[in-house]
Amino acid sequence: MAEVRIHHSWKNRLEAEFSQNYFEDLIGFVKEEYSKTTIFPPAKLIFNAFDRCPFESIKCVIIGQDPYHGPGQANGLCFSVADGVPHPPSLQNIFKELKEDVGCDIPTSGNLESWADQGVLLLNATLTVRARRPGSHQNKGWENFTDAVIRELSQGKSNLVFILWGAYAQRKGEMIDQKKHFVIQSPHPSPFSAARGFFGSKPFSQANHYLMSIGSDPIDWDLTRSG
């Protein structure tokens, strides 16, 4: 397995979690999976969301479920795909809402790294998956780890924006202190649910209005400027 990268600010915050028995078991399972079959994202990108987004810089958190399970798609950021990869249906709908909400043109690339670089933590609840086997690494320990991440964010920071799309993310968000943070909830952008309230929910402008209201810089959601 390739060397995994994670920003030192997260290493320090999550050090106690890394020494838990469940996490040691999880890492043993993940290493074995990478050694015997095709797993996404590439091993060096498992913690990409944390590596690109230091704890101190986080303004906004978007919670997903699993990495994409198709070849070349997952890059360690929820809903994001590598450059040159066709946009999956949920991402297509995110971009439709983005255009309707704040007027951004739909980008050629579905790579959301420029959001992460501005302090948007794009967090999947489960950080790895077998090729073409959605949900295959659920209930192995990743959910415990990402619960700990959400608790750390809720307790250790104030005035974050949490964007929770769909029932799964909303259940995951139950540990967020809504007195300290701004929570935006809507149906999931999946084609199965987007028309039931995701479209028209304006999460991007809501997030920026809140950030500006607390004196923080808004997020430039326009991916066509990210090169």
Stretches in the chain below the pLDDT threshold 70: 1-3, 226-227
Nearest to 222 by CA among 122, 124, 76, 118: 118
Catalytic residue among 25, 51, 66, 147: 66
User: What is the structure's pLDDT at 2?
Assistant: 56
List CB contacts of 57: < 8 A, sequence separation 6 or more: 119
pLDDT in tens, 7-62: 899 988 999 999 999 999 999 999 999 999 999 999 999 999 999 999 999 999 99
Q: How many CB atoms lie within 10 A of CB 20?
A: 15
Residue 66 bears catalytic tag? yes
SS3 112: coil
Beta 129-130 vs 39-40: how paired, if at all?
A: antiparallel
User: What is the structure's pLDDT at 4?
Assistant: 72
Asked if 80 and 113 count as a contact pair (C-beta separation under 8 A), the reply is yes
133 DSSP 8-state letter: B
Asked if 221 and 98 count as a contact pair (C-beta separation under 8 A), the reply is yes
Nearest to 197 by CA among 205, 185, 183: 185
